[in-house]
């Protein structure tokens, strides 16, 4: 099912969940992955509208989607978030993004504890450098050529390499994992 909309709008999040429930009869897995990643090299270039945009894209949908889905989530359901190594080891030029990703990791811990009594598992994945649409859209050209070379594996990850942790966290194989964020970083320590 395709559902075009802006996740920065609370009503869109609620409508997305309702359309999903109507189309599929419920919600078993909620993966909250959308994000934005502006590069701001200096606090002197900081603009409030950039921070607002990052938080409204990366943080607000966590609350809105979960609240809308909550009445439909049964024991055994899973919520999976997408943080980043930036949430643990921030780059100076990605301060707004790093703050949002640290917030996602903390939200994951809090919701993991809050929803565990209902049998709903909340966990996350924290990618390191991975080729996604964020890189060409936000990484300066002079940095893109060496993107990911500083990992112990010496390369960026591919989106397919992120799939296994998401699949694990969505499955009942992860029935005793709650409030955790799995780092997928090519060997770079995330904590």
Cα distance from N-terminal residue to C-terminal residue, the chain: 37
Measured distance CA(127)–CA(183) in Å, rounded = 6
Specify whether the CB–CB gap between 136 and 90 falls below 8 A.
Answer: no
Q: Which helix (H) or strand (E) holds 112?
A: helix 95-116
Ordered structural domains, the chain, with CATH = 26-184 (3.40.50.720)
Measured distance CA(156)–CA(159) in Å, rounded = 10
CA distances to 13, 145, 174 from 62, rounded to whole Å, are: 10, 33, 21
> Does the pTM exceed 0.75?
yes
Q: Which of 64, 88, 97, 166 is catalytic?
A: 97
Q: Is 60 a catalytic residue?
A: no
- Can you give the pLDDT of all 191 residues of the chain as single tens digits? 999 999 999 999 999 999 999 999 999 999 999 899 988 889 999 999 999 999 999 999 999 999 999 999 999 999 999 999 999 999 999 999 999 999 999 999 999 999 999 999 999 999 999 988 877 887 778 888 888 888 989 999 999 999 999 999 999 999 999 999 999 999 998 87
Measured distance CA(10)–CA(158) in Å, rounded = 31
Measured distance CA(106)–CA(51) in Å, rounded = 18
Measured distance CA(191)–CA(146) in Å, rounded = 23
Q: Which helix (H) or strand (E) holds 30?
A: strand 29-32
Q: What is the 3-state secondary structure (H, E, C) of 115-131?
A: HHCCCCEEEEEEECCEC
Measured distance CA(52)–CA(50) in Å, rounded = 5
């Amino acid at each position: 099912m395709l559902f075009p909309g802006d996740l920065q709008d609370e009503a869109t999040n609620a409508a997305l969940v309702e359309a999903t429930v109507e189309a599929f009869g419920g919600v078993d897995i909620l993966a909250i992955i959308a994000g934005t990643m502006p590069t701001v090299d200096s606090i002197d270039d900081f603009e409030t509208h950039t921070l607002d945009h990052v938080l409204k894209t990366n943080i607000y949908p966590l609350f809105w989607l979960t609240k809308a889905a909550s009445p439909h989530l049964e024991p055994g359901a899973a919520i999976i978030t997408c943080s980043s190594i930036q949430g643990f080891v921030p780059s100076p030029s990605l301060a707004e993004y790093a703050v949002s990703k640290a917030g996602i990791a903390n939200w994951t811990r809090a919701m993991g504890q809050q929803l565990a009594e209902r049998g709903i598992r909340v966990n996350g994945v924290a990618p390191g450098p991975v080729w996604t649409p964020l890189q060409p859209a936000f990484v300066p050209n002079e940095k893109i050529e060496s993107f990911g070379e500083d990992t112990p594996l010496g390369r960026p990850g591919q989106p397919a390499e992120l799939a296994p942790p998401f699949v694990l966290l969505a499955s009942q194989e992860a029935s005793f994992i709650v409030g955790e964020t799995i780092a997928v970083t090519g060997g770079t320590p995330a904590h």
